[in-house]
Structure 1
């Protein structure tokens, strides 16, 4: 039994081990902290990849009409993946709700020295954020994963049993006796386990390949003969479709994911540590659905609902003469697609802003306020390329919401370099042996 479990791990881990692949490659940066600080202009938070730590460097190409060396930094830390080993494949693919929340819980920080006030003075600002997600697995998905794992374990047990029997027979039987005995062993091992299969034809085809192994290997190099035999058995009984399907689901999450996030900005208007404000905060709800890979590409639809509120007194003091709304409600949709190492993301987001403005006093001395409203739109395109499995280069261009300063300057042109550390690997699922 132990041999079959190890072989099951080998069945799934072979390609990961040989290429040293991570089970979950890095995606384009999308942290709450960098978004609320404006380093990452996207409002839509795409589901993040499993990484213990992500760091991103941002450069705005249109700052002062010249290329700027990246000076803004964001990091996102996911404690769950710091040292996670020995997880079963089923637990990895079918987490319970609370487990899913733990896996997706990440904390982000972003900093800039170019947070401009109303008089265009650059100050220091720090953003902080938290996010988590829930993977909503359907009954069909759970059934598929469970049945696929069962198929692969059955294949592994058959392969393990046949090869162990062959190993004990090669050194004690003559060649013709071995051929006769092993054919009987194979037939008896599978006739009650494989349904919808012509067992006699399968065994006949397999034994045809076995007889093509040179007899001299059996006589002079039995270990080599055993290796050749094991390869043939592996080829015939490895469920290729189940193997490829499960490997794909290990590397990609398909179906519904719900993301929740919070972020706030801490500004130091005098660039002194002991004097600061929290000028704005945001809450996100981002549902997404990832369609199963087709023709080598993936497609993901992502919705976003973001509520943002401002410290109005702060803006009145440091941004005099600018229109500031106390509440913003953002809503929109993004389309994300991946083709090998290249991916792109297009988002279209609307904004509804509202606030109350002092309108005077009534005849009884009561303060009167009137509601003011505004609307705006933002549309962006991001193009990303995985330089390596854990390094992503991203370029974003488009039209952003009207900013407090330079209201005509709505052009977005941003380059980002994102690094990932501590992604799940073969050891996470016990595939290293």
Structure 2
């Protein structure tokens, strides 16, 4: 798996290269977590119904599942946004606010890869490494809400003022007023010869120029501080209806050997979201999965679980206080029906999730609930998972949205 780490390092290096400093660029808090298609297909995602949103160029996830969170995490992965990852310049907010499908597609098309290790301790059963690969993109998304537009326009105005060489407030600066008075006195002093007057005027003009430059620099520094404060909590919130498409598969490797590999799952799904623009979001999903090998853990080992097709349908409700934008809670219910095997009963997945933004483009989420099968736990059908995700490459070019 060393090639995965090499790819990840290359991605981060490319981010640093293609996102140079620019007065019109800010580093926004653009991470949406969790949203990995690969984790979803592996059955280790903290949520089966992911909320859409704007993305960082590269995001990495580490998950510790069950076992009282005492074991070393065995689930990890990453997600990349090719359009911004291999960029020539940061994406602009005008582009991000577009409702054209071609713009939406290239800005939301992501590739994700996840790895989950199944370790059978104290048994003679083989060890499995599951590799999930997936892609996702938005078919439709709304524009930014009014609060987001106002913040972006305010930042843009400050940036334009800096680029246009904003002048300091000369009229009220006492030091500059004293220098101006000194210049007038020198000019009006009839006792000074022309040579002495010229020397003194040059000296005072130099002091005036230096002071004006200081005031200009202070004005720019104040504007930069305003930009920093306004962009600190800037999130690209949108109000209205979203529709996302995702697809991918899982390859299983026995004893971490490439010669002992097989496709264990394939799937695709649509996720619809209605964001109220306030504290609540409502999501729904329709998902088809095809599993050539198995579907459920079977204690009796008597079910023929080959070539199983399932159809999932469910809803998720998310509460996140817009004024704070830190802590969010959600609950989801997902019903799975088996399409071609009467011997296997349909089942439910019910999950409670809490997520907290622990820093810019960093989030920690905790999940508790009942899963379809035993994919995350040793006993029963309980999910307990702690997921950490961090994003890189969130610089955006601020353009006026007026």
TM-score class, shorter-chain normalisation, is: 0.5 to 0.7
**43 and 119 in structure 1: CA distance in 2 versus 1, 3 angstrom threshold:** farther
Deviation at 1:334, TM superposition (A): 3.0
Structure 1 range deviating more: 267-276 or 391-400? 267-276
State the SS of the aligned residue for 1:43: coil
1:91 match: 95
Q: What's the CA shift for 1:226?
A: 7.4
Q: 1:391 aligns with which of 350, 359, 362?
A: 362
Residues 1:307 and 2:288 are matched in the alignment: yes
Q: Which residue among 72, 75, 91 is the counterpart of 2:75?
A: 72
What residue is the counterpart of 2:340 in the other structure?
A: 356
SS of 2:331's equivalent? Answer: strand
Change (3 A) 1:120 1:355: farther
Does the residue aligned with 2:367 lie in a helix, a strand or coil?
Answer: strand
Q: Quick one: which of 279, 288, 309 aligns to 1:326?
A: 309
Distance in 2 between residues matched to 1:430 and 1:253, nearest whole Å: 16
**Conserved? CA contact 2:244–2:270, under 8 Å:** yes
Instruction: Decide which of 424, 428, 433 is 2:394's aligned counterpart.
Output: 424
Mapping for residues 21-32 of structure 1, pairs under 5 Å: 22-32=27-37
TM-score, normalised on structure 1?
0.63
Alpha-carbon distance in structure 2 between the residues aligned to 1:43 and 1:151? 36
Change (3 A) 1:232 1:119: closer
What's the offset of the Cα at 1:406?
A: 7.9
- Are 1:335 and 2:306 an aligned pair? no
Work out the CA distance in 2 between the residues paired with 1:406 and 1:233. Answer: 56
Contact 1:307 1:330 in 2 (8 A): no
Report the alpha carbon displacement of residue 120 of structure 1 after superposing the two structures with TM.
5.8
CA–CA separation in structure 1 for the residues paired with 2:57 and 2:42: 22
Q: Deviation string for 1:338-367 (max 9, x for gaps)?
A: 56463324132231312435xxxxxxxxxx
5+ long unaligned stretches in structure 2: 1-21, 184-203
Distance 2:297 2:262 in 1: 13
Deviation for aligned residue 1:233? 12
Tell me the matched-pair count: 342
Q: CA deviation at 1:37?
A: 0.9
CA contact (8 A) 2:46 2:387 kept: no
CA distance, structure 1, for counterparts of residue 356 and residue 297 of structure 2: 42
Alpha-carbon distance change, 228 to 328 in structure 1, aligned in 2, over 3 angstroms: same
Deviation at 1:394, TM superposition (A): 2.2
Separation of aligned partners in 1, 2:165 and 2:375: 71
Matches within 5 A, 1:129-140: 129-137=134-142
Distance 1:274 1:233 in 2: 62
1:1-49 superposed Cα distances (whole Å, 9 cap, x missing partner): xxxxxxxx96x76xx4xxxxx2233232321111111222421122254
What displacement does 1:86 show? 5.3
* Structure 1: 5+ residue stretches without partners: 1-8, 17-21, 167-205, 358-370
Aligned partners of 1:229 and 1:258: how far apart in 2?
A: 48
Q: Compared with structure 1, are the counterparts of its residues 233 and 309 closer, same or farther at alpha carbon in structure 2 (3 Å cutoff)?
A: closer
- Corresponding residue for residue 115 of structure 2: 111
Measure, in 1, the Cα distance between the counterparts of 2:213 and 2:219.
10
CA RMSD of aligned residues (A): 4.7
1:400 aligns with 2:400: no
TM-score of the pair, normalised by structure 2? 0.67
Aligned residue for 2:380, secondary structure, equals coil
1:277-316 equivalences under 5 Å are 277-292=262-277, 299-311=280-292
Cα distance between partner residues in 2 of 1:98 and 1:396: 35
Structure 1 position 155, deviation (Å)? 11
Contact 1:301 1:336 in 2 (8 A): no
Q: Residue 23 and residue 130 in structure 1: after superposition, are their counterparts in 2 closer, same or farther (change >3 A)? A: same
Give 1:330 deviation, angstroms. 2.7
Q: In the TM superposition, what are the counterparts of 1:367-382 in structure 2 within 5 Å?
A: 371=342, 374-382=345-353
Q: Using the TM superposition, give the Cα deviation of residue 119 of structure 1 relative to its aligned residue in structure 2, in angstroms.
A: 8.6
> How many Å apart are 1:283 and its aligned residue?
1.3
Among candidates 42, 45, 48, match of residue 40 of structure 1: 45
Correspondence list, 1:255-274, <5 A:
255=239, 256-269=241-254, 271-274=256-259
Cα 1:126–1:67 change in 2 (3 A) is same
